[in-house]
Amino acid sequence: MNTLKKHRCRLLKTGLHNGFYNMALDQALLEAVAGGFSPPVLRFYGWKPAAVSLGYFQRIEDEVDVQACQRRQVDIVRRLSGGGAVFHHAELTYSIILGAAHPLAGTGIQDSYRMLCAGIVRGLGLLGVDAVFAPINDILAGGRKVSGNAQTRRMGGVLQHGTVLLDSDLDLMFELLKVPDVKISRDHRIRDVKERVTSLKALLGREVSFEEAEAAMARGFCESLSLDMLEDEPPLPRETEEQRAWELSQP
């Protein structure tokens, strides 16, 4: 008999949205969970149009070619979490939001990364990908990065979000992001990143749809973290969170 304690959690599949709304909804959900209005949340989403997200402390002029983003119709948004600039294109993104005292929040950031990223490792396994957690916050398959993750702790809550690459377009990424002024050619830098980064398409030799990846990751998180998924029955009306996200996403 399974004696593991189940953790109540809302499962939200919010589909494809622009980057401003995506980041605003993460913040609205963090406010709701940290404020005690909602149980923990596991959310899956995508980006339409593509976007570059900046870490909380980054300066846009240092990291992004704004004109290139405008030309390519790529949003530029800021995350609540730290870390480097990320190009969001052909990917599944997740966020998991907990109260700071929740057992899955761990005893510290590294401890919680290890626990929470187990959901991605398990989900990838369900897709047929042998993956491992690599501290501080990456998931590797065949020695190459297929998922990057970031976390912030504020308002009495924990927000971790990350990506699972369905495919990659590193040439476009390097067109949009600025690279350090070092004595390495752009082509050499692209080749170096291609050797360190991979995608589900490259690993499995086939297209993996957003929906297939979403289903596998939801099951992976549920199994590895012992989640008792709720059919979106929060004490706080969903419309309240969406209204808050809309307010936050406005210029």
Class of domain 7-242 (CATH, top level): alpha beta
Contact between 88 and 163 under an 8 Å Cβ cutoff? The reply is yes
3-class DSSP state for residue 101? coil
Query: Phi first, then psi: what are they for 94, rounded to 5°?
Result: -125, 155
b or e along 168-187 (b: 16 or more beta carbons within 10 Å of the residue's beta carbon)? beeeebbbbbeeeeeeeeee
Alpha-carbon gap, residue 126 to 23, rounded angstroms: 28
Give the HSE-up count for residue 221: Cα atoms under 13 Å, Cβ half-sphere.
27
List the chain pLDDT tens, one digit each, 251 residues. Answer: 344 679 999 999 999 999 999 999 999 999 999 999 899 999 999 999 999 999 888 888 888 999 999 999 999 999 999 888 999 999 999 999 999 999 999 888 889 999 999 999 999 999 999 999 999 899 999 999 999 999 999 999 999 999 999 999 988 998 999 876 555 666 777 788 888 999 999 999 999 999 999 999 999 999 999 999 886 554 555 678 888 999 999 87
Q: Minimal CA–CA distance to 41: which of 106, 97, 107, 122?
A: 97
Q: Minimal CA–CA distance to 34: which of 160, 161, 156?
A: 156
